Structure 1
Amino acid sequence: MSGNQDFNLKYDREDIAFCLKSMPEQVSRIWLNDGDNIPATFQKIENIVVAGMGGSSLAGHFIQSVGADFLKKPLFLQRDYKLPAWVDKKTLLIAVSFSGNTEETLEMVKDGLAKKAKVLIIAGGGKLERIAKKHKLPAFIFETQDLAKKPRFGLGFMIGALMLVLKQLKVLTVTKKAVKEMVEAMNEVIDTCILDVEERDNPAKAVAREMLGKTVLLIGAEHLVGCSHIVSNQINETGKQFACYLSVPELNHHFLESLSFPKNEASRLVALIFNSDLYNKRNQKRINLTAEFLEKQGVQVIEYKTYGKTVWEEGAEILQFGAFAAYYLALLNKVDPADIPIVDWFKRKMS
């Protein structure tokens, strides 16, 4: 059975569909801000740590993967309560939190200040904004309004802000033209994946149906590894379904052997593989061989071939497509795409 009748909007009580359509606008709004309130001393760094949790950490992984060939300093991701021992006054610590109140991120900021790191805040307000004012830290405080109601739906704000501050610090080479092309790529996905487009013409709906009831493996390489992580997170939180991500070529050195046991496990898996002509030729061969092997083992394989001309376009394309696919999966699972009751329960228990 197919058609829009299966994608019942009664489960979308917070109009997350509107947030998804707004992701390109989120990026554009951030880049309208061309001001620079970052001290010149912040350019005297040797490394960058992006601190964040959950949906707020995804912007860092996006930049780390998509921007790998454009970063002039090493960029590390930290998702914990404390920072590595090597963090010091030559480290740029960028704390990212949609709410501005994330427990672990606040602790990492405290640790960063103690280690004399150069701390910069990207947040939607909250305690991080107050800390920035108290310690006179440079901060990029964005106002989401109705464009984003959860961290994973505000990735346009956080990715756009992180790209902008790194550009202002002259550690990321990215142009306004590249950002414009990202926004255009996202809008092209919206044209084909928006709710009004029937399933037969809507790749995000079609992929959501293929994922329904299965364990989902997201597989990507090079500039799309961070995007594979993002889509995995969205399927977990938005679709309420198990998903994990694997990267090529790393998975070829261990994962393939894992399908031997338990018996019949492969039939419960679906692999969504992100393929790109921009990959290294050897990785393109690895992706194709991996898909061939998985199919022989009984794993359902869905190949998504990107069409962008640059890594920035392709990253933005997968970012937008994955958000739609996870959203439609939530509707097929008959759950609210916004609610995360178990994560909220866990946070209450930790308070």
Structure 2
Amino acid sequence: MFKAIWEFPENIQEALEIGAGITLHNQYENIDHILIAGMGGSAIGGDVVSVLENESLKVPFQVVRGYTCPSWVNENTLVICSSYSGNTEETLSALDHALEKEAQICGITTGGELAERLHSLHKDVVKIPAGLQPRAALAFSFVPMIKLLEKAGIISSSLDDWIQEAVHTLKEARKTYSKDRDTNPVYHLAERVKERIPVIYADSSTLGVAAVRLKGQLAENSKILAWYNELPELNHNEIVGWENNADIFQRLFVLWLMDRDDHERVQHRQEITRTLLQEAGVDQIAISVPGNLFQERFLHMIHYGDWLSYWCAILHGTDPSPVVKIAHLKQELADRK
């Protein structure tokens, strides 16, 4: 997993080459909705696209993690089936449902049944490199997806204008984040949170997706439970929960993912909520990363979180790569078909 996290910037560069080589054989016309059907590491790529292309997306864009498509899917919906292995049963089921609804369909995958079925249906398939854990293939999920949407004439992306600066930032950051010493702020934080349950908070309009990603990485890499929520919503319910059962607060550690582009009112909410948690005796830390553009800082925060999950695993003496319980679950499901 060390190598997979380290190579995130190189993966972005390779994914850009894949994106540049995409040739679409179908026309995508009158698209008024975009649906990404995927699970886990494949679905998060769609979430990342929703953030990076927030300004260029002019039609509703939704990521669906499940077996079916929403009722509104029709012939004017572009459904992108994203499955790293190509054998994700939920995504294959969503493909069936999208076909029933006569949606316009394409896919991003390394191969598997998804590629076979899409090819047989004469649908466009973007092939990405195999050999990675799906969660480590994030660059091969979001970059080709952006380029696919661009070549389909659905968005006009500014990705090429800023992505190389982001790659440079990631390459510089990993020199520090990869060191197993306290001078590495990520390693030092991992020492503090590895035996806690991290509670991750972020602004829904900026780093909410980075919080989702970090929660998943802590589960799969670190093998520890984590929780996340977003502001301002948590100020309308969850904030009240920091009252009873106070004896368990010492087992929790709040990670505030913060960015200078957080909504002005959310910044006030963060400050007030942090004060309330401090008064309740809750350990917490604010995390922010440098960068000129928001997109650059967003990818930087994801990289920071990936390293945090890695070091939590190592400090537990755990191999971050295997996901034994997922493999067991898939085998059990296969036996019940």
Counterpart amino acid of residue 60 in structure 2: P
Match of 1:292 among 227, 251, 275: 275
Give the TM-score normalised by structure 1: 0.90
Give the Å deviation of 1:198: 4.4
- SS of corresponding position for 2:85: coil
Write out per-residue CA displacement over residues 145-168 of structure 1, whole angstroms, 9 at most, x where no aligned residue.
5xxx21111111112112221222
Summarize the Cα distance change of 1:287–1:170 in structure 2 as closer, same or farther, 3 Å threshold.
Answer: farther
In structure 2, what is the equivalent of residue 282 of structure 1?
265
- SS of corresponding position for 1:293: helix
Write out per-residue CA displacement over residues 291-317 of structure 1, whole angstroms, 9 at most, x where no aligned residue.
222222122111111212222101110
| Residue 206 of structure 2 is aligned to residue 220 of structure 1 | no
Alpha carbons 1:185, 1:316 under 8 Å: kept: no
Large movers: runs of 4+ above 6 Å: none
Bigger relative CO (Cα 8 Å, ≥ 6 apart): 1
Alpha carbons 2:250, 2:283 under 8 Å: kept: yes
Write out per-residue CA displacement over residues 90-118 of structure 1, whole angstroms, 9 at most, x where no aligned residue.
00101111111100000101111111111
In structure 1, what is the equivalent of residue 45 of structure 2?
59
In structure 1, what is the equivalent of residue 113 of structure 2?
127
| Residue 164 of structure 2 is aligned to residue 180 of structure 1 | yes
Match of 2:31 among 37, 45, 48: 45
Match of 1:166 among 133, 149, 153: 149
- SS of corresponding position for 1:264: helix
In structure 1, what is the equivalent of residue 294 of structure 2?
311
Give the Å deviation of 1:288: 2.1
Summarize the Cα distance change of 1:179–1:291 in structure 2 as closer, same or farther, 3 Å threshold.
Answer: same
| Residue 57 of structure 2 is aligned to residue 71 of structure 1 | yes
CA distance in 1, matches of 2:37, 2:118: 15
Counterpart amino acid of residue 122 in structure 1: I
Counterpart amino acid of residue 112 in structure 1: A
Give the TM-score normalised by structure 2: 0.94
- SS of corresponding position for 2:222: coil
Counterpart amino acid of residue 213 in structure 1: E
In structure 2, what is the equivalent of residue 334 of structure 1?
317
5+ long unaligned stretches in structure 1: 1-15
CA distance in 2, matches of 1:294, 1:236: 24
In structure 2, what is the equivalent of residue 112 of structure 1?
98
In structure 2, what is the equivalent of residue 233 of structure 1?
216
CA distance in 1, matches of 2:158, 2:94: 28
In structure 2, what is the equivalent of residue 191 of structure 1?
175
Query: How many residue pairs were aligned?
Result: 331
5+ long unaligned stretches in structure 2: none
Counterpart amino acid of residue 222 in structure 2: G
Give the Å deviation of 1:43: 4.3
Question: Please, what is the CA RMSD of the aligned residues?
Answer: 1.5
Aligned-residue identity in percent:
25
- SS of corresponding position for 1:223: coil
Alpha carbons 1:95, 1:122 under 8 Å: kept: yes
Summarize the Cα distance change of 1:320–1:181 in structure 2 as closer, same or farther, 3 Å threshold.
Answer: same
